[in-house]
Amino acid sequence: MAGLALAQALLWGCSSAGTPLERAAQITDRALMEGVRQATSPEASQGAVGFVGRYNPCRCEAPPFEIWIYGGWERVALRSEDEALVEALLTQAQAADASAEFRLIGWPERSSPYGELELEGFEPAERTSARGSSTSTP
């Protein structure tokens, strides 16, 4: 008898929470709200982010560096409190093979007409990207 009452209470408890689809929507909404809360918290900007970057100068006044972001190459102007860091990256990039990529570490910022990357550091890379040219998609 006690087992039947427990099973009945369990079923009633589940049925009052809604259908499986409603419960999944509630869980998703809570996860989304938590993600938004974490992304807007001060702790979200504490660490630098790593990007694959390449030196790809053009004939116009656009910045010579690009980063792989959101599924494509985007030109960025590099800036840093340590100007020697930007100069060292530029020197290495100009001496490297045209297909060489770097791991750029920093914080991207949108600005117009090009984005900016606050450069915190970089690691040279000797490999060529599997992503292809700036006009191809992965």
**For residue range 59-104, what is the model confidence (pLDDT) as tens digits?**
998 999 999 988 899 999 998 989 999 999 999 999 888 888 999 9
User: Could you tell me the CA-to-CA distances from 12 to 5, 24, 26 in Å, in that order?
Assistant: 10, 18, 19
When the pLDDT of each residue in the chain is averaged and rounded to a whole number, the result is 75
Which alpha helices (H) appear in 1-138, and where do they start and end?
A: 2-15, 20-39, 83-95
Residue 74 zone, left/alpha/beta (φ > 0; ψ -120 to 50; rest): beta
- Fold of the domain built from segment(s) 45-124: OB fold (Dihydrolipoamide Acetyltransferase, E2P) (2.40.50)
In this prediction, what percent of the chain has a pLDDT beyond 90? 25
Residue 132: its pLDDT value, please? 47
Higher pLDDT, 30 or 108: 108
Residue 42: its pLDDT value, please? 44
Give pTM, 2 decimals.
0.56
Give the three-class secondary structure for 117.
Answer: strand
